[in-house]
Amino acid sequence: MGTLSCAEARDLASDLLDGDLGEDQVALVEAHVAGCATCPNLYLALVAIDNHFRRQRELGPGGSEGIDGDRAPAGP
C-alpha cells in the first residue's frame, strides 16, 4: 500500500487516534491528510471529538458538567 484513498484514510483514522496502527500505517495516514483537500477538516474534527471524550473520561462521574460549563449562566 503506497498511498491511501480518502476512504482508506478514514477507515484508519479511529485506529490512528487509538494508537492501534504501526509506524508505516501512521505515516500513510498522515501523508494522505497532509496532501488531501478534504480530509484535514474531518481529521481535525475527529481529533477534537476524541480529545473531548478522553477529557470526560478523565473527569469521571459528573464530568459532563464540563459540557454545560462552557455556556453563559442563565439570566436572573
Structure confidence by residue, pLDDT tens digits, 6-65: 999 999 999 999 999 999 999 999 999 999 999 999 999 999 999 998 888 888 776 555
Q: How confident is the model at residue 74 (pLDDT cuts 50, 70, 90)?
A: low
Q: What is the pLDDT of residue 63?
A: 57
> From CA 66, how far away is CA 76, in angstroms rounded?
22
Asked if the model's pLDDT at residue 68 lies above 90, the reply is no
- Domain map of the chain by residue range? 6-61
Q: How confident is the model at residue 1 (pLDDT cuts 50, 70, 90)?
A: low
For CA atoms 68, 41, 48, 5, the dihedral sign is positive
